[in-house]
Structure 1
Amino acid sequence: MAGIKDVAAEAGVSVATVSRVLNDHPSVSSEARARVLAAVAVLGYRPNAVARSLRTDQTRTLGLVISDVLNPYFTELARSVEEEARALGYSVIIGNADERPELQDHHVRTLLDRRIDGLLVSPTDGGSPLMLDAARAGTPMVFVDRWIKGVDVPVVRADGQGAIRALVAHLYGLGHRRLAIIAGPAATTTGSERVRAFREAMAEYGLALPDAYTGQGDFQAGSGRRVTERFLDLAEPPEVVFAADNLMALGALDAIRARGLRVPDDIALAAFDDISWFVHTDPPITAIAQPTGELGRAAVQAVVARIEGRPPRSVTLPARLVARRSCGEPSPTRRSTS
């Protein structure tokens, strides 16, 4: 009986390309698709997931543990992971950690018990003995967005440092000098890196980041609201609040509006992690965008490479600044209709 490798050889393409064709992935060229389908017809190939699992001791299933399913960033990430996995012939089981380390480990343990072939995790904190043990046991695993120091697995992430530097330069150019930040949890790599990058970028412009202008959040809207309320109570409030994720930015916006203040007339607002409906707020929110779809696809490709015994590879992609009007940017010039 012909197998997928026989189809790949007959068509003159890779096994991954055959998987994409069989799973109707749009990224395959029409020429390659035609060759694969012709090879399937010639060889009489019929994929059988159950039989394949019994023969190879593989379930063709990946586990994905995300930090917070209510965060639009992670929702989009999960979607791209599922799409790429399906294209490569895998199903995905998703667990939501809700930013709770104990719930994260519960999902990881459950997924490993179900004999998944590979695991993708966006860790909720900086340490997990369970994931360290899983990595040492040889579990094909990849960290996405965040990672745990000391655990030797590939990391697929965006580098926001350059985008944060661009944001500070943008704010400085608009005349802002008193900048504040709502930081994410210090135990997470993204939480600590973003506040450090912000502080370093401010130093490049001779700006200090006093303790009064730093607030500790937890990547949830409630913390963004509480920290912003504290900023607004200061004798000299900041001119700009930079929230280190989108949910904290929404909490900050709630706090500002609850005081009867307007963005950006009374205080400016910027966010890390752009989301599609930031363009629909009034004013649209200036944000740092991560290549979420690319991150999800790269993470699946990395964990599948490990499953297939190929060398692991970490991937770092650039984030970018998307300037809108929440920091006092000039309104776009309207074209005359006369």
Structure 2
Amino acid sequence: MASIKDVAAEAGVSVATVSRVLNDHPSVSPEARARVLAAVETLGYRPNAVARSLRTDQTRTLGLVISDVMNPYFTELARAVEEEARALGYSVIFGNADERPDLQDHHVRTLLDRRIDGLLVSPTDGGSPLMLDAVRAGTPMVFVDRWIPGVDVPVVRADGRRAIRDLVSHLHGLGHSRLAIIAGPAATTTGRERVEAFRDALRAYDLRLPEDHIGQGDFQAESGRRATERFLDLPEPPEAVFAADNLMALGALDAIRARGMRVPDDIALAAFDDIPWFTHTDPPITAVAQPTGELGRAAVRALVDRIEGRAPRSVTLPARLVVRRSCGEPSPVRRSEP
């Protein structure tokens, strides 16, 4: 692999001149710049990114710690982050917290040790001293999807309250009055917010949410299955179940089918976080969809603004209800050919 000295020899200039050309310094003559660039092309020279970062105190690298890489929502989010970062001249290093605070902190610590320029995090809980210390130390940081209340960090998220109200209105209009929810972890902002929004929406129709109609989940499929089994064992099971996450919805679907029951004939099912799989289930699942790609791109732009000295702003985008056929909706009318 060619070195900067090889480039200098090929171009007939000093190493310092090559360095100035590579760093776009204006003091180099057009003739010398042309010779250096021609030598770089001939030798296939690539600057050492690590050495450059030591000089500029920047690595052009962002860190992203997501809650669960197995969750299709976070997979799509990570892809959007990587694409937007690349378009802005940054690389991304990923860490999967697997919904574990200890693993989250391990990745945050590792990324900080690697001298990333900024950090995107979807916090697994609200009490990480390591992240709070990083914020106080001035590390550029943006929370995406979830956040830590009271911490002065820009947040890029979707507001699902309107879409959840639309869902409850939809269920009520279909004749469902006994509704249940499989909630996410209470330690996460999204876990708490979705339960509160669901409860508030029910009040608008004078519907109650009894404690035995709240299943505690952890955003994993197995917790959705267990919560649904408990619902189905009640003397008067719910008529509709709202899973506050896509994986918990799939677990709920497994539990319903294991009892020999059918959706929506025996029980309705809806989910938060739409995924492509939901169009292929039988029946297709009604879901609240977040603008996942837009969230990822907006989070990168906010973080780069912070890194490059501009004032970033928090961003809140609306979620929307996608109606399919898992709640007893009428099947689409097929028009016969003329």
TM-score (norm 2): 0.86
Instruction: Show CA shifts across 1:100-155 (max 9, x none).
Output: 00000000000000100000000111211111100010000000000011221000
Hey, what's the Cα distance between the residues in 2 that align with 1:199 and 1:178? 12
| C-alpha spacing 1:87/1:5, structure 2 compared with 1 (3 Å) | farther
Give ranges in structure 2 of 5+ residues lacking alignment: 1-19, 27-33, 41-45
Cα distance between partner residues in 2 of 1:208 and 1:186: 20
Spell out the pairing of 1:75-86 with structure 2 (5 A cutoff).
75-86=75-86
Query: How many Å separate the matches in 2 of 1:176 and 1:49?
Result: 63
Per the TM alignment, residue 277 of structure 1 is displaced from its structure 2 partner at its CA by: 1.2
Q: Tell me the amino acid that sits aligned with residue 59 of structure 2.
A: T
* CA distance in 2: counterparts of 1:280 and 1:239, whole angstroms: 23
Instruction: Give the Cα separation in 1 of the matches to 2:275 and 2:261.
Output: 23
Partner of 1:137: 137
Aligned length: 305
* Paired residue type of 1:55: R
- 1:189-268 pair list within 5 angstroms: 189-268=189-268
State the partner residue of 1:156.
Answer: 156
Paired residue for 1:16? none
Distance 2:210 2:297 in 1: 39
Which letter maps to 2:82?
Answer: E
Matches of 2:315 and 2:166, distance apart in 1 = 22
- Alpha-carbon offset, residue 5 of structure 1: 8.7
Give the SS at the match of 1:76.
helix
TM-score of the superposition, structure 1-length normalised?
A: 0.86
In the TM superposition, 1:237-316 aligns within 5 A as: 237-316=237-316
1: CA distance, partners of 2:22 / 2:125: 42
Which residue number in structure 1 is paired with residue 95 of structure 2? 95
Written as runs of structure 1 = structure 2, the 5 A alignment for 1:48-197 is 48=47, 50=49, 52-197=52-197
For 1:52 and 1:286, locate their aligned partners in 2 and report how far apart those are by CA, in whole Å: 50
Give the 3 Å change call, closer, same or farther, for CA 263–53 of structure 1 in structure 2: same
Q: How far apart in 2 are the matches of 1:290 and 1:126?
A: 22
Q: Within 1, Cα distance between the matches of 2:60 and 2:137?
A: 19
Deviation at 1:88, TM superposition (A): 0.6
Describe the superposition over 1:160-217 as per-residue Cα deviations: whole angstroms up to 9, x where unpaired. Answer: 0000000000011111100000000011000000000000000011100011111110
Q: Which residue of 1 aligns with 2:7?
A: none
**SS where residue 181 of structure 1 aligns?**
strand
State the partner residue of 1:20: none
CA distance in 1, matches of 2:98, 2:217: 15
Amino acid at match of 1:189: T
* Structure 1 gaps, min length 5: 8-40
AA of the residue aligned to 1:113: D
* Residues 200 and 5 (structure 1), Cα distance of their counterparts in 2 relative to 1, 3 Å cut: farther
- Runs of 4+ in structure 1 deviating by more than 2 angstroms, as ranges, are 1-7, 44-55
Q: Which structure's CA Rg is the greater one?
A: 2
- Fraction of identical pairs, as percent: 82
